[in-house]
Every structure is written in C-alpha cells, then in structure tokens.
Amino acid sequence: MSDRDWTVADLMDDYQAGRVSRRGFVRTLVGAGFSMPLIVGLLSACGSDEKKSDSGSGTSGSGVRPSPVTGGFATQAPGAAAFTPAKRGEGGTLKLLWWQAPSILNPHQSSGTKDRDGSRIFYEPLAAIDAEGNVVPILAAEVPSVDKGTLDKSGKFVTWKIKKGVTWHDGQPFTVDDVIFTWKYAVDADTAALTVGSYQNIESIDKVDDSTIKVNFKTATLEWTAPFVSSAGQILPKHVFEKYLGKEAKSAPPNLKPVGTGPFKINDFKPNDIIIADMNDKYHVENWPYFNKVEMKGGGDAPGAARAVLQTGEYDYAWNLQVEYSVLQQLEKGGAGVLAIGPGSGIEHLQLNYTDPNKEVDGEKASLKAPHPFFADLKVRQAFQLAINRKVIVEQLYGPTGDVAIYYFYNPKRYVPDGGKWEFNLQKAGQLLDEAGWKKGGSGTREKDGVKMKVLYQTSVNTVRQNMQAVIKKDLESLGVEVELKSVIADVFFGADPANPDNFPHFYADMQSYTATRSGPDDLATAMKTYLSSEIKQKANNWSKLNSTRYNSKEFDALFEAAVKELDPTKAAEAWKKCNQKLIDDVAVIPIVARNNVAAAKKDLRGMGLSPWDSDVWNIAKWYRQK
C-alpha cells in the first residue's frame, strides 16, 4: 500500500461526519489499493450508502481500457444509463467464438475457464463482481451489508436473500434449498468438485425462511464472496443433481444438458465443438435477454478467432485473444470489430514439478514418494528463474496486452510486496547450477550422478505460448539444459477428465505454463490454496485438488493460515504479501506475464460490462446490438 498520512478510521470518521463524500471516500480507498468489495463493507459499516451518495454517482463505465488502435470498445456497464428493449428476444442470434471449446457444462466439474463460461450461459450465481469490484446481485435479491445486518462485520457469517419468482428452465421454482445443495455438492469428497476451495470454509448454512439463508463460516473471513459468487458460485438445481451426488457426478447426464435459471436454455451441445442456446422466455429480468439465440462456437485458435470478429465480422465476440499484439493491430484494420484491452487478473506463469514425472511409484507418476531429480533443489529452481527473460517475452509477444510479472498476485496492488524485482542473468544461473553439482558433460548437457539435466516443457497449443516456449528453450539450452517441448490441444490441456494424462492437473512433465486467474479481487485464499500441501493433486484424490506442482512447505502453510484468519484489512494485506513473497523466495512459481484482458467485438455490440473478476459472459442477459 502506498504511503499516506491518513488512516482508514480517520477516513470513515470524515465520511460519517459529511466531510468526505461517498465518491471521495471510494476514490481515496481505490487509490490506496483497496478492492471494491472491502470498500462496500466499510461503507456499510459507516451507515447507509444512499444517505451519503454523491449526485450522479454509481458505476459509469465498464472498466475496459479503449483499444490503443481504435480508441473505442463500446460496452455498457450495470448501473449506467442503458438501452432497454421493448421486449425480450428481438435481437436475433448472438454468435460467440471461444477458441478453446467447452467440453462439459457443469461449472463445478471443471477448472477450465472455457467450461465455466459455457456453463454461465445457463447457470447463475447469487451475485457477480463487475469491473470495478462491485458485488452485483443476480439470483440474490440484494447485496448483503453490515448496515442491513446481513453481513457480520467480524466476518463470521453472511445472510443472503434470494430473488423471488425465479424458475429453473424446466419450470421448477428456484429456492434456497438449491443454494444449500450446491454447497453440499461442492464439498462432497466423492463428487470431487473442482470448486471445493470456494466452499470449504462454510461450517453450516441455516435456512432462515423460504427466501433467506445464513452462511456460517468455520473461521471468520473477509472473503464472504468466495462461495455462491462469480463463476465458482453458479447454483445447481437440487431436483436435477441430487441423484448424482458423489461418484456419479462426473458422468451425470445433466453435465451435458444443463437446467439453469439463466437467460438462455440449452438447445444442443456438441462437446469440444458448439453450444446452441435459445432464449429463456421466462427469464427473471423483464424484457431481457435481447437476443433470442446464442451460438458459442469452439475450436480453432486465437488468431483465427480474432480474425473472425475484427476482419470478417463472421462472429460478434471473441474471447481470450492471446495473440501477438502486432497481429491484433493488423487484424483490427479490417474494420468489422474493435479490440478491448482491459484490466486483468490472469498471470501467465511457469510451474516446476517438485516430483519426478518419469518415475512411477505404486502405480502413480509424479508421486510424492519420488522427489524431482533436480527441481527439489532450491539452487536449481533459482537458476531456472534467472533464465526466464520476461522482458523479451512481454515486449515481443504481448506489447500493451501484458506487463512483466514479478509476483503471483499483481492486482489489487495492496496485496503486492513493496520493492519487488526480477532478474534475467544467465551467468548467475550457470553459477548456481555449478554450485548445485550439475556440471556440463562432453555433450554440453549438464549432468550429476549419471543423470542428465533434461526437461519436458508442456503448455497448450497457442502461437504466443509456442513462441514463449522457444524463447525459454533457447536460454535454457545455452545453460546446458536439454529441453523437449510439448504442445497439447487447449481443449485437452485444460480438460477436467481424471483419465486424461495430458491435462495440466496431472502435470506429467517437468515444466508447464498457462494462465491462472481469480474469481474476485479478494479471492486470495482460493487462489493461494494452489500451493498448500493439503491441496496436492494425486491419484488418491482423483487429481481434484488444487496444487499441481506438488510444492510442499510447512512455512507457507503457516503463513496461509495466519492470512485467512486476519480480519483487519490492512493487516490481512500484509499477511497475504508474506504469502506472495514466500512463493517467489521458494520459486514455487515463476510469474512471467501479468496479462490484461483482451477481447474483440463487432462495432455494434453493447452491454458487456467486461470484468477481470468474472466470466466474460457474466452479464450476457443484457448484451444488445446498437441500432
């Protein structure tokens, strides 16, 4: 956090006394690095927001930075003056291009963004998080607050009231029983839900009445939005899924034919190809959705997706354009669409396997019983960290769509340690490898005790990632490391099938890289669990845990436990900084690129309100076409 001559308590006193406006209060805290959910909580603690709000305040933008080329990616964020259709379904077909095709439509059975995005067309959470970090009610009737007594200021509980009159696509009423069931589904060990991390801190849920639940946390927390909010919070219908709770969950028919509350209903789904959805004519928001049909086409590659929107206009929207910036600039000159480069939360990072993927113990590769032959040594990991030229990767491949990453968390800034540095130094890297006993042999490859320093480096098929692999391979080979590259089709690499050895959760390679994202600005515990020893992915838990590197540190575990228990926002930020720093000190992860969100849309598409904290389609009910 930046130096300042005020305290949060002082600012709250000034706000309550009327010396500082609501807008001034928010801007001051945003400038200091506080996220909007925390600011909302502080506002609630001061009293009713409405009594102190500025004239004309509210969400006025999408949080999306205009394209450097066109200067405009038109969106309409919730809360701003917006177009309202005379009736639902007047907009025809909305054509989306997700070049990583969804393979399953159950958001709790996949860790892949593509699958959660596909699911979000049909399923909804209690609330979403917009670009500015505001909590936006979806299936909830209102946002919980301290002022209304529905949010405990000590972080022990949150009370949710659901919206009345909502029905599932099959006509059954949506109830709080569905919310409670979703929690039980997510934490059931046999169900092996990939969203379990968002729900593990729930001790119990009290059904207050037919429209109200009280969520009680095991440990007091600032992250009350972790469960039931954003992509991991999508609610499942109890009457559809209760018969598939447990070991039947992975093969449940509804995984391919969703029954949700969302603005669109399933028409057809061909896994790894296309989703076709029809308008929900009983959607719970009057006159919406604007479009009467959605097609989400999958497959291909990111450059092809960009071309299909920016140049040919064949599609309305393309997601996750991890494409060299020079290529995007050229495609945008086609005139059919525009780019958006907005704030992101994704970190393109390199993982080093702490276990040996080439040795099988008790029928399991990458077993905890078989430490990696050289990545178990800190000096070797430090050497590899020094050999990653992040600046070249960003400048040559990302341009303004990314920045050099130093820490695993880079946004919000309040969680980032001060004075962080990174270094590219092949000479120092070579010295560390020498000190660790890995000397160059006659072939030029480093060896120790008869073992050659050879790595298999895998990632998904993507031009930018293959070019990044090439940069990293060249520098490692100059050090005497033999590097084999492997590229896995994105739909497979990010798939959730426990029988698939080529996906990133199995991590049957020495190194792998991909982008890790978060579901909210303060969703730190869920993201940091990726490195807990209790979350190590292995055969025994069907690879359903979060830690794919098999990093195992009692010190990090202790820092994590201290951070999740801290309720003072300033002290909590400092605690999470220590976790962030520990990961870098141990080289548990090598951050490479702090990615901005990059998408493309036809020039007449509006209403997206894109958010780095949620699915691109979180607000798809209110997308529309400018007439």
Q: What is the pLDDT of residues 318-332, one digit of tens each?
A: 998 988 888 998 999
Which DSSP letter does residue 90 get?
Answer: T
| Residue 489 counted as domain residue | yes
Strands (E), 468-589: 482-488, 511-516
Which domain covers residue 380, as residue numbers?
344-520+588-595
Rounded distance, CA 166 to CA 162, Å? 9
pLDDT in the model for residue 14: 60
Rounded distance, CA 603 to CA 617, Å? 18
Q: Hey, is 527 helix, strand or coil? A: helix
| Higher per-residue confidence, 556 vs 344 | 556
Final residue in a domain of this structure, among 16, 32, 52: 52
Q: Hey, is 143 helix, strand or coil? A: coil
| Higher per-residue confidence, 14 vs 585 | 585
Examine the pLDDT at 585 and tell me if it is beyond 70.
yes
Helix axes 302-310, 463-478, angle to 10 degrees: 140
Q: Hey, is 397 helix, strand or coil? A: helix
| Residue 365 counted as domain residue | yes
For residue 602, list its beta bridge partners.
337
Across 593-611, average pLDDT: 90
Q: What is the CA radius of gyration of the chain?
A: 24
Query: 17-52, pLDDT tens digit by residue?
Result: 565 656 556 656 655 555 444 565 566 556 544 334
The answer to whether 22 touches 49, Cβ cutoff 8 Å, is: yes
| Secondary element (H or E) of residue 9 | helix 8-16
Mean pLDDT for all residues in the chain: 86
| Residue 59 counted as domain residue | no
Among 512, 486, 526, CA closest to 590: 512
470 phi, psi to nearest 5 deg: -65, -40
Rounded distance, CA 228 to CA 182, Å? 8
Task: Identify the burial level of 527 via C-beta atoms within 10 angstroms of its C-beta, where 0-12 means exposed, 13-18 middle and 19 or more buried.
Answer: buried
With a CB cutoff of 8 Å and minimum separation 6, the contacts of 456 are 357, 484, 486, 509, 510, 511
Query: Which of 22-36, 47-61, 406-420, 449-463 has the lowest average pLDDT?
Result: 47-61
Q: What percent of the chain is modeled with pLDDT above 70? A: 86
216 phi, psi to nearest 5 deg: -100, 130
pLDDT in the model for residue 12: 65
Rounded distance, CA 150 to CA 157, Å? 8
Confidence bin at 389 (pLDDT 50/70/90): very high
pTM: 0.66
Helices (H), 436-551: 463-478, 490-493, 524-528
| Higher per-residue confidence, 627 vs 42 | 627
| Residue 609 counted as domain residue | no
| Residue 366 counted as domain residue | yes
For residue 513, list its beta bridge partners.
350
Query: 335-362, pLDDT tens digit by residue?
Result: 999 987 777 778 899 999 999 999 999 8
β-strand pairing of 482-488 with 454-460:
parallel
Strands (E), 235-367: 264-270, 274-279, 293-298, 317-318, 337-352, 360-361, 364-365
Among 266, 291, 353, CA closest to 536: 353
Rounded distance, CA 100 to CA 82, Å? 31
| Residue 284 counted as domain residue | no
Structural domain total, the chain: 2
Rounded distance, CA 113 to CA 212, Å? 30
CA dihedral 93, 96, 101, 104 (to 10 degrees): -60
Rounded distance, CA 470 to CA 368, Å? 30
Examine the pLDDT at 537 and tell me if it is beyond 90.
no
- Greatest alpha-carbon pair distance for the chain in Å reads 77
- Residue 468's alpha-carbon distances to 23, 75, 374, 461, 465, in angstroms, are 43, 32, 23, 12, 5
| Residue 382 counted as domain residue | yes
- Sign of the CA dihedral 603, 605, 606, 608? negative
| Residue 381 counted as domain residue | yes
- In this structure, what CATH number is given to the domain that contains residue 408? 3.10.105.10
Across 464-469, average pLDDT: 94
The answer to whether 79 touches 56, Cβ cutoff 8 Å, is: no
Q: How many residues does the chain have?
A: 627
